[in-house]
Amino acid sequence: MTTVRKEAFGRMPPEDGGGEVEKFVLQSESVRVEIVSFGCIITTLETKDRDGQFSDVVLGFDTLEGYTRGHPFFGCVVGRVANRIAKGKFSLDGKEYQLFVNKGPNSLHGGAKGFDKFLWSPEVLPNGVRFFRLSPDGEEGYPGDLKVWVTYTLSGGELAINYQAQTSKTTPINLTNHAYFNLAGQGSQNVYDHKISIEADSYLPVDDTLIPTGEVASVQGTGFDLRQPVELGKHFQKFNLDGFDHNFCLRQGQDRRLVARVLHPPTGRTMEVHTTQPGIQFYTGNHLDGSLKGKGGATYPKHSAFCLETQNWPDAVNKPNFPNVLLHPGEEYNHTTWLVFNTA
């Protein structure tokens, strides 16, 4: 049985139009999650360890101000296109589009003001909450009026995130949630003792600005072979890795499939990721530097969290050999990701 309740979380600054930000608390016997209408952000996700003790396993802030001041996309929905587009450029039907460039020479996570920086309209459901917004034609340089619905539902230990969209003009679209996890509890100093596996036979090598080169490389015999569980700290040392920020290529298909599993042996917490998406970006918080004060005054140093962002492949709009990222009028974008929390 899931309960859903609504609370106030704060007001948007006047320069961002004011507006009430609401928080929705979804609670089952084993998981408690808090999601706010600003950026559809997961601000809290509490799950049990093997002794039945709850801990909050996502990074974030105690107040709205933390999220409006700028942060590395903690817990939010990113779009219109998650991840990177090379030089912020793409061509559609003979027309070139220029997006805002906000990460080195590239456009990242929707540009200067992506979906994470807007107030969405919420609707309470029996076991969750649905958020809606209309991204107008030309927003951040993207074509078409895009209607977007993001639905969070909780059932037992399973949090489902469904993304739907419809457009008035052909547009690239790639939506994901950017939660940062630490199964030891947010504020823990690293994720080196986590064991992870990713069901991917190939990954995308990147250039020095993290744009895929276009090659789809086998993980066999490399540090990217995570098909069997590895302990992250030891794995980094063995392969002399500074961390991961790479797309892993998943088996194609619209069906739900298990794509990643994380275990934290000291607490017994486990997290499984299931999705309909063609890729998963595995990121190990390489750019966290301890400068942000998070929940309860915690600091978040490098490698203090991991992200498993289910999505299309980065820069797919410029790579004909990558999965299709275009949504056409009359079609519906519809993807779901399931996060399943348990104990071992």
| 11 annotated to a ligand binding site | no
Q: Which 8-state DSSP code applies to residue 219?
A: -
CA separation for the pair 283, 297 (Å, rounded): 23
**Among candidates 241, 209, 1, which has minimal Cα distance to 102?**
209
Alpha helices of 80-159 — where are they, by DSSP H? Answer: none
CA separation for the pair 220, 224 (Å, rounded): 8
| 178 annotated to a ligand binding site | yes
Query: Is 123 an active-site residue?
Result: no
| 83 annotated to a ligand binding site | yes
Residues 6+ apart with CB under 8 A from 122: 6, 22, 24, 37, 129, 130, 131
- Is the Cβ–Cβ distance between 46 and 24 less than 8 Å? no
| 242 annotated to a ligand binding site | no
Query: Is 231 an active-site residue?
Result: no
Q: Which entry of 71, 178, 264, 335 is annotated as an active-site residue?
A: 178
Exposure string of 146-161, with b = 16+ CB inside 10 Å and e = fewer, is bbbbbbbbbbebbbbb
Q: Is 169 exposed, middle or buried (0-12, 13-18, 19+ CB in 10 A)?
A: middle
> How many other CB atoms are there within 10 angstroms of residue 122's CB atom?
20
Terminal C-alpha separation, the chain:
23
Sign of CA dihedral 179, 184, 189, 195: negative
| 82 annotated to a ligand binding site | no
| 180 annotated to a ligand binding site | yes
**Among candidates 147, 111, 117, 149, which has minimal Cα distance to 130?**
149
Binding-site residues sit at 83-84, 178-180, 245
Annotation: binding site for beta-D-galactose? 83-84, 178-180, 245
Catalytic residue positions?
178, 309
